Structure 1
């Protein structure tokens, strides 16, 4: 059985806010730690039948990048729900929401 390790290192400032986020995975193409400005990790807790979430971002992450990051996450979820359950309706609804959010963000960027 193949095994893959994914590791995160988070440096915090004096107020316990993320200052720097580094990550690595044992099966990624490049070797060593890479920097990122945001992570979003979701874990299904079988025992409590609920989702555990960890969302971290550095002050380097702009508001526009954060919005794009979450739209991309939801777009990926649309594909995952289709692949894992075959539920085309749910997948298409998530994609439609993403399309509306992209439109909203584009309008915001035009007006600022």
Structure 2
């Protein structure tokens, strides 16, 4: 069996707000890459619920956060389709992403 590791380092200010976020993924060739935001979800099988960590720095511009969320919604559709084979639901998620883009003014 082979193991790999992905790490996220967060530097906080005196109010515990992220100042910087860096991440590492050796298998992906990522070493101390800066990022302004991260969202991690894990499945808790016992509680039957998703657990999340959403972090962004003070420097993350709102317009980029909107684009980040939009791209996450699109990727959820792709992940859902690959996991379930339900193309119709995946397309519905993609339509929601497009509606989000219009409502959040990242797409006219």
Segments ≥4 residues shifted beyond 4 Å: none
- 1:29 match: 29
Return 5+ residue gaps in structure 2 as ranges: none
- 1:19 match: 19
- 1:61 match: 60
| TM-score, length of structure 2 as denominator length | 0.92
Return 5+ residue gaps in structure 1 as ranges: none
How many Å separate the matches in 2 of 1:63 and 1:86? 34
RMSD after superposition = 1.6
Q: Does 1:48 align with 2:47?
A: yes
CA shift for structure 1 position 28: 1.3
How many Å separate the matches in 2 of 1:25 and 1:78? 24
How many Å separate the matches in 1 of 2:99 and 2:55? 25
How many Å separate the matches in 2 of 1:103 and 1:19? 30
Q: How many residues align?
A: 108
| TM-score, length of structure 1 as denominator length | 0.89
Secondary structure, in 3 states, of the residue corresponding to 2:64? helix
CA shift for structure 1 position 106: 3.3
